[in-house]
Amino acid sequence: MAKKNYHSVPWDGDWAVKKEGVEKPVSVHRTQTAAEDKTHSLAKKNEVEAVYHNGKGQIKDKDSFGNDPFPPKDTKH
């Protein structure tokens, strides 16, 4: 069974951390930075991907943690 990634997304005027496939947020934050920090720590702890969205809900960045048999050449992280 594949592990579920974590996303930081806009949520009713705030920012939420959501696990893929789950409607209810893991946590809700007042700032995008706080949500991204929580997304990062959860993804790292669970060895999955952190997916960061912009204010329009579009994916702006991703960060992978854990064992990737075909790692991309990530020059950003």
Q: Residue 56 has what DSSP assignment?
A: T
| Beta-carbon-side half-sphere exposure of residue 57 (alpha carbons within 13 Å) | 4
pLDDT in tens, 8-57: 999 999 999 999 999 999 999 999 999 999 999 999 999 999 999 999 99
Q: What gap in Å lies between CA 27 and CA 35, rounded to an integer?
A: 8
CB 60 within 8 A of CB 76: no
Q: What is the pTM of this model?
A: 0.85
> What is the spatial distance between Cα 63 and Cα 76, in angstroms, rounded to a whole number?
9
